[in-house]
Homo-oligomer: A and B are copies of this chain.
Amino acid sequence: MKALIVGGLSAVILAAGLAAQAQQPDIEDQIEFRQAGYKFMSWNMGKIKAQVIDGSVEYDPLQVQAAANAIAAISNSGMGALFSPGSSRAEMGEITALRPEFFQNLDEAGRLGRNFNVAANNLASEAASGDQARIRRAFGEVGQTCKACHDEFRFSRQ
């Protein structure tokens, strides 16, 4: 996000703009940070899946809780700030899988993001209950909200 230094801006607005710039990582970094968040969440989704969906790993309530808490906390950390205009594949190429349609449908992107956030926090609550049937349902809802956004706004990695 480039600072806009335009004559007539008040000192307050200029200071606010510079502050926002100071906080906002550049676009390459935004892409790395957001991919890191999703990657780390996918590891934790995998652990929950193994324990409560596949049963390929014995269910450990504390591990599932910790995994769900990590997903929820990452989801709560304001990742929207990592999606500056100009950060789709149209501008940045293969380093990102973000479709340019994301920025033409910000209301829809926001809606999908909020759905994911609600589902992630619900999964954390259900994980704390230790009730596997409830965790399973909540996990499925998180997966649906991941997929909804991938389908609309992410190029396939394959």
A interface bracket (residues with beta carbon within 8 Å of B)? 35 or more
A74 to B77, CA, bound (A): 12
State which residues 55-109 of A face B: CB under 8 Å.
56-58, 63, 66-67, 69-70, 72-74, 76-78, 82
Q: Among A20, A22, A29, which residue has the most Cβ atoms of chain B within 10 A?
A: A22
Question: Which chain B residue lies CB-closest to A4?
Answer: B151
Q: Which residues of B contact A21 (CB under 8 A)?
A: 42-43, 46-47, 49-50
- The minimal Cβ–Cβ distance linking A145 to chain B, given in whole angstroms, is 12
Q: Which residues of B contact A130 (CB under 8 A)?
A: none
Contact B6 A54 (CB under 8 A): no
- The minimal Cβ–Cβ distance linking A109 to chain B, given in whole angstroms, is 17
Contact A40 B50 (CB under 8 A): no
Contact B54 A19 (CB under 8 A): yes
- Kindly identify which residue among B39, B49, B77, B82 contacts A69, using a CB–CB cutoff of 8 Å: B77
Sample 28 A-B pairs with CB under 8 A, ordered by A number: A9-B156, A14-B146, A14-B147, A14-B150, A17-B42, A18-B49, A19-B54, A19-B56, A20-B57, A21-B47, A22-B49, A22-B56, A23-B51, A23-B56, A23-B57, A25-B43, A29-B43, A33-B40, A33-B43, A35-B36, A36-B36, A36-B39, A40-B40, A63-B78, A66-B76, A70-B74, A70-B77, A72-B73
